[in-house]
């Protein structure tokens, strides 16, 4: 469902009675309008909605932490198996690649049988594969276990954005999506800090034992506190307006203070009963209609069909490139470089990598979601006064700070390349990584929210799969060429090339700002 056609839902028909419009705290119509069903996740109390958000954030965090926690201990791991350090990183790149494939399997099942069983199964696979990685006695066995360790926990990477759309209204999704992408990003950033201390104190195998313990704890918590969020909305129930005057329900369409939506009422979520809660805690979705069926085309064809839409393909490509160069590439290469050049141990490697990226991403989130949510609310209010919907591309204006920060950070890394080459100081590389990751968090939050929520919210899970696949496949390739390329041409020139690629892939985003709304109207809505 594209944003330009269905950006403002204002009334609902319930038999012969016309229900009053539900408004948000600022007096604008809620998007989408909640139904009267107690199983509608938009009717869940706020404490439960934010508990669900916290859970999917933690699951995304664990998915990337499972992959990256071993990175500071690549050197001792390689020594135990008698392999080169670069070869030792391949177990991480295999996990990254498999995490691109996991959502292609989990998401179609989740779209039919429910989000809850997909999440629970994913956590169990993460628990078992982390134990298998910890107990591997050959490098081949470790590769196999790490492949499953990337595949299993990855369900949240594809389902998380869709779950945000399930439980939050449009005006809340920027902040919620930002928190989700922040935790998704920072799992890989905090992982080397944890992994560094664990590897030094207990050995590299305990990095995987820690992952198993965290997955086990999350399974128990989600089993009791993650209700089903999949809900089928009847598109024929809702009608749409382009002018506030159409809200007149016999009580007048304007209030004394001039608000154009006086015909509506503030939304208050109904109380949740224990019966409803237990119904939504069942292993499969008890409310699944017979029309919701699994088809073979759901696994690959349906999600990748979204790539024909520029509002999905361009942001997915730009996000993958910036995330790869500003987040994944340092995680894969820093431990090897800093060990060889600065003689860092596992703890110092973890701190140098994790702290710089963690700080950069956290500051980036403060400058993205709250800002773009406010921009969209202001644009909606102005547009409705003129009887037109607010275009989704307004949110893209918030990406400029990130688009500038990423190449600036990588340009600092060009100087970092000189410092790495001459082994002068490790401070400059850390500053460059922090600046680049500040930018990539803004890019992540804006791109995810724009494509998944503002443009195609009815296909948010499919859009999220495209984002995840592009990001993980691009990240997988980095492990094979990043260090050899830098050693061959010089790290200062390799980072210059990375900067140029980021700038080139931003140009289609600029085109979306100018022509995105026109393109979406011309192509039309995707089929359900």
Phi first, then psi: give them for residue 261, nearest 5 degrees: -120, 40
Q: Mean pLDDT throughout 86-101?
A: 88
Q: Mean pLDDT throughout 40-64?
A: 95
DSSP string, 500-515: HHHHHHHHHHHHHHHH
Give the confidence band of 332 by pLDDT, cuts at 50, 70, 90: low
pLDDT score, position 73: 87
List, in sequence order, every residue forming a beta bridge with 9; answer none if it has no partner: 240
Q: Which residue has the tokens 């920027």?
A: 174
Among positive and negative, which fits the CA dihedral 334, 81, 90, 152?
negative
List the Cα angle 179/459/12 in 5-degree steps.
95
Residue 17 in 3-state DSSP? strand
pLDDT score, position 340: 74
HSE, CB side, 13 Å, CA atoms: give it for residue 170: 28
pLDDT score, position 237: 47
Give the confidence band of 424 by pLDDT, cuts at 50, 70, 90: low
Q: For 204-208, 253-257, 266-270, 468-472, which range has the lowest pLDDT when averaged over its residues?
A: 253-257
| pLDDT for 342 beyond 80 | no
Number of H helices, E strands in the chain: 19, 5
Residue 229 in 3-state DSSP? coil
List, in sequence order, every residue forming a beta bridge with 14; answer none if it has no partner: 17
| Among the listed residues 313, 289, 117, 143, the one whose alpha carbon sits nearest the alpha carbon of residue 219 | 117
| Among the listed residues 208, 174, 132, 253, the one whose alpha carbon sits nearest the alpha carbon of residue 457 | 174
Q: What is the pLDDT of residues 299-319, one digit of tens each?
A: 989 999 999 999 999 999 999
Q: Which residue has the tokens 């539900």?
A: 22
Q: Mean pLDDT throughout 121-148?
A: 96
pLDDT score, position 305: 94
Q: Which residue has the tokens 């995707």?
A: 526
Give the confidence band of 7 by pLDDT, cuts at 50, 70, 90: very low
Q: What is the pLDDT of residues 502-526, one digit of tens each?
A: 999 999 999 999 999 999 999 988 8
Cis preceding linkage at 32, omega within 30: yes
Tell me which range, 6-20, 24-38, 180-194, 432-446, is most confidently predicted by mean pLDDT.
432-446
Task: In whole angstroms, give the CA distance from residue 145 to residue 152.
Answer: 10
Cβ neighbors of 478 (< 8 A, separation 6 or more) are: 93, 324, 325, 328, 329, 332
| Among the listed residues 31, 142, 26, the one whose alpha carbon sits nearest the alpha carbon of residue 94 | 142
pLDDT score, position 251: 43
Crossing angle of the two packed helices 90-113 and 329-342, in degrees rounded to 10: 160
Q: Residue 10 is inside which H or E element, if any?
A: strand 9-14
Residues in the chain: 528
Q: How many CB atoms lie within 10 A of CB 503?
A: 12
pLDDT score, position 331: 61
| Among the listed residues 325, 328, 504, 316, the one whose alpha carbon sits nearest the alpha carbon of residue 410 | 325
| pLDDT for 257 beyond 60 | no
Task: In whole angstroms, give the CA distance from residue 241 to residue 243.
Answer: 6
| pLDDT for 149 beyond 80 | yes
DSSP state of 306: G
Residue 14 in 3-state DSSP? strand
DSSP state of 324: I
pLDDT score, position 120: 97
Residue 117 in 3-state DSSP? helix
HSE, CB side, 13 Å, CA atoms: give it for residue 214: 23
Q: Residue 266 is inside which H or E element, if any?
A: strand 265-266
Q: What is the largest CA-CA distance in the chain?
A: 80
**Considering the entire predicted model, what is its pTM?**
0.82
Distance, CA of 394 to chain centre: 20
| pLDDT for 252 beyond 50 | no
| pLDDT for 244 beyond 60 | no
Task: In whole angstroms, give the CA distance from residue 26 to residue 11.
Answer: 18
461 close to 104: Cβ distance less than 8 angstroms: no
Residue 239 in 3-state DSSP? strand
Q: Mean pLDDT throughout 158-175?
A: 91
Task: In whole angstroms, give the CA distance from residue 244 to residue 387.
Answer: 7
Q: Mean pLDDT throughout 166-179?
A: 90
216 close to 131: Cβ distance less than 8 angstroms: no
């Amino acid at each position: 469902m594209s944003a330009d056609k269905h950006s403002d839902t204002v009334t609902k028909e319930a038999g012969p009675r016309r229900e009053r419009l539900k408004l948000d705290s600022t007096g604008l119509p809620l998007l989408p309008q909640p139904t009267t069903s107690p199983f509608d996740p938009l009717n869940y109390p706020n404490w439960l909605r934010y508990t669900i958000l916290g859970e999917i954030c933690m699951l995304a965090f664990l998915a990337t932490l499972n992959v990256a926690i071993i990175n500071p201990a690549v050197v001792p791991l390689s020594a135990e198996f008698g392999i080169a350090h670069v070869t030792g990183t391949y177990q991480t790149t295999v996990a990254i690649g498999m995490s691109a494939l996991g959502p292609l399997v989990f998401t179609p099942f989740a779209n039919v049988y429910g989000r809850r069983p997909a999440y629970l199964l994913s956590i169990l696979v993460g628990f078992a594969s982390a134990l298998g990685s910890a107990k591997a006695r050959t490098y081949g066995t470790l590769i196999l276990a790490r492949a499953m360790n990337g595949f299993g926990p990855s369900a949240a990477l594809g389902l998380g954005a869709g779950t945000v759309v399930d439980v939050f209204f449009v005006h809340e999704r920027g902040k919620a999506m930002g928190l989700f992408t922040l935790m998704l990003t920072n799992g890989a950033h905090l992982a080397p800090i944890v992994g560094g201390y664990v590897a030094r104190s207990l050995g590299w195998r305990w990095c995987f034992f820690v992952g198993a313990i965290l997955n086990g704890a999350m399974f128990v918590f989600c089993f009791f506190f993650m209700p089903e969020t999949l809900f089928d909305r009847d598109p024929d129930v809702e009608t749409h307006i382009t002018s506030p005057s159409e809200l007149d329900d016999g009580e007048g369409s304007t209030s004394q203070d001039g608000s154009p939506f006086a015909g509506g009422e503030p939304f208050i979520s109904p109380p949740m009963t224990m019966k409803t809660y237990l119904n939504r805690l069942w292993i499969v979705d008890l409310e699944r209609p017979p029309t919701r069926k699994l088809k073979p085309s759901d696994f690959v064809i349906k999600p990748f069909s979204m790539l024909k839409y520029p509002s999905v393909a361009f942001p997915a490509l730009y996000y993958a490139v910036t995330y790869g160069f500003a987040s994944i590439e340092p995680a894969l290469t820093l431990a090897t470089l800093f060990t060889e050049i600065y003689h860092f141990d596992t703890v110092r490697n973890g701190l140098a990598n994790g702290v710089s990226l963690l700080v950069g991403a956290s500051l980036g989130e403060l400058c993205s979601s709250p800002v773009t949510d406010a921009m969209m609310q202001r644009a909606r209010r102005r547009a409705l006064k003129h009887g037109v919907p607010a275009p989704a591309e307004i949110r893209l204006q918030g990406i400029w700070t990130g688009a500038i920060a990423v190449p600036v950070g990588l340009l600092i890394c060009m100087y970092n390349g000189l410092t790495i080459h001459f082994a002068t100081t490790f401070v400059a590389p850390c500053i460059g990584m922090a600046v680049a990751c500040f930018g990539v968090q803004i890019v992540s939050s804006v791109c995810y929210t724009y494509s998944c929520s503002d443009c195609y919210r009815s296909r948010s899970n499919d859009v999220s799969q495209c984002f995840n696949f592009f990001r993980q496949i691009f990240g997988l390739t980095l492990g094979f060429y990043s260090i050899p390329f830098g050693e061959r041409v010089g790290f200062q020139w390799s980072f210059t090339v990375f900067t140029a690629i980021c700038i080139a892939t931003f140009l289609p985003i600029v085109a979306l700002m100018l022509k995105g709304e026109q393109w979406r109207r011309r192509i039309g809505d995707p089929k359900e």
